[in-house]
Amino acid sequence: MKRAVATLLATFDDRQRAEGTRPFAADADRRWIEYRPEPRPGLLLAGLGTDARKAVFRLLATGLSPAAFAQTMAIIGLEEVLDRREGYVVGRHSEDYRVLVFGTPGDDRWGWRFEGHHLSVTMTVADGVVSPAPVFLGANPSRVDLAGRPVLRPLGVEEDLGRELLLSMAPATRRRAVVSLQAPGDIRTGVQPRAAAVSPLGVPRQDLRAGERALLDQLAAAYLGRLPDALAERLQTDDLHFAWEGPPEPGRRCYYRVQGPDLLIEFDQTADGDGHAHTVLRRPHGDFGGDVLAAHHAEAPHPNRR
């Protein structure tokens, strides 16, 4: 990751460095998540040369698994599909994404973010330890069909596993898991810089039958699987709760969340039909490096107090 950032920074001229870098202490820009088509800080892909653009994507790949990297490339391409559907009036384009590097790679604290419409990936490094999150992936449309069959469905695994888990539950358990009959308009955490547990928690993993627990574990693994194995392993837990909102039928607006002590997963299908999906992996204690920064401050020497 450090090598990839150094390669990217070496492509910058003075203007690009001013747009694409910030001090690590610039919290207003660093503790930031924005997945809507809104203004955002950072260096825009549009206008970058081939070497710089490739360096951006190679950096992004260091923080994502191969499958999640493929999902991000599909999501970026969907900007052109959505622009066509909207009659080219909004001006969406697949280079409307920005990269931002915080601090100096190799220092005790630094990080980076890649973000644009339906994508936000943040990685923070303290004392050589990488803290991943938030990782937001969305898709609009979330499904493109040919002859009634999907040819592109970037978040189909996440949607199908959540619904399969819900429908596998015994009726009494399902009633506990369904905390609302109407889906929210968006993920509950939105663009808040600090994510907190969402109530109600729903049904705990220990109250599920063996097959249901296995499906919940698969669902959590699908989100943790967005990260390289070494990063995902640190976030694994079996202390999970699952909650669903909305109807269970495919093609309808729906929402679910999976929560653990430092894990918050959300999926929201915000539109009926071919859909408009939002998904996020967040960490109430570890977002934007909260966990590694706390450890860094705890180990840092303190001046003697009088």
Q: DSSP assignment of 147-176, as one string? A: TTEEEE-TTHHHHHHHHHHHHHS-HHHHHH
Question: Based on the domain organization, do 252 and 284 belong to the same domain?
Answer: yes
Specify if 45 maps to a domain: yes
The residue from 140, 174, 197 where one domain ends is 140
Report the pLDDT value the prediction gives residue 7, as an integer from 0 to 100.
98
User: Residue 67: which of 254, 289, 229 has the closest Cα?
Assistant: 229
Specify if 234 maps to a domain: yes
The residue from 93, 118, 140 where one domain ends is 140
Specify if 147 maps to a domain: no
β-strand pairing of 119-126 with 109-116:
antiparallel
Question: Based on the domain organization, do 135 and 158 belong to the same domain?
Answer: no
Cβ distance 3 to 58 under 8 Å?
A: no
Specify if 301 maps to a domain: no
Question: Based on the domain organization, do 72 and 16 belong to the same domain?
Answer: yes
Specify if 104 maps to a domain: yes
* Residue 143 to residues 66, 151, 165, 170, 269, Cα–Cα distance (Å): 21, 8, 21, 29, 11
Q: Angle, to 10 degrees, between the axis of helix 2-9 and the axis of helix 50-62? A: 160
pLDDT in tens, the chain (306 residues): 999 999 999 999 999 999 999 999 999 999 999 999 999 999 999 999 999 999 999 999 999 999 999 999 999 999 999 999 999 999 999 999 999 999 999 999 999 999 999 999 999 999 999 999 999 999 999 999 999 999 999 999 999 999 999 999 999 999 999 999 999 999 999 999 999 999 999 999 999 999 999 999 999 999 999 999 999 999 999 999 999 999 999 999 999 999 999 999 999 999 999 999 999 999 999 999 999 999 998 876 644 433
Distance CA 275, CA 251 (A): 7
Specify if 23 maps to a domain: yes
Question: Based on the domain organization, do 163 and 62 belong to the same domain?
Answer: no
Question: Based on the domain organization, do 18 and 123 belong to the same domain?
Answer: yes
Report the pLDDT value the prediction gives residue 296, as an integer from 0 to 100.
93
Question: Based on the domain organization, do 159 and 287 belong to the same domain?
Answer: yes
Question: Based on the domain organization, do 180 and 116 belong to the same domain?
Answer: no
Question: Based on the domain organization, do 182 and 223 belong to the same domain?
Answer: yes
What range does the domain containing 8 cover? 2-140
What is the pTM (predicted TM-score) of this model? 0.96
Specify if 306 maps to a domain: no
The residue from 88, 115, 140 where one domain ends is 140
Report the pLDDT value the prediction gives residue 304, as an integer from 0 to 100.
47
Report the pLDDT value the prediction gives residue 298, as an integer from 0 to 100.
86
Question: Based on the domain organization, do 123 and 160 belong to the same domain?
Answer: no
* Residue 95, C-beta contacts closer than 8 angstroms, at least 6 positions apart: 44, 45, 46, 47
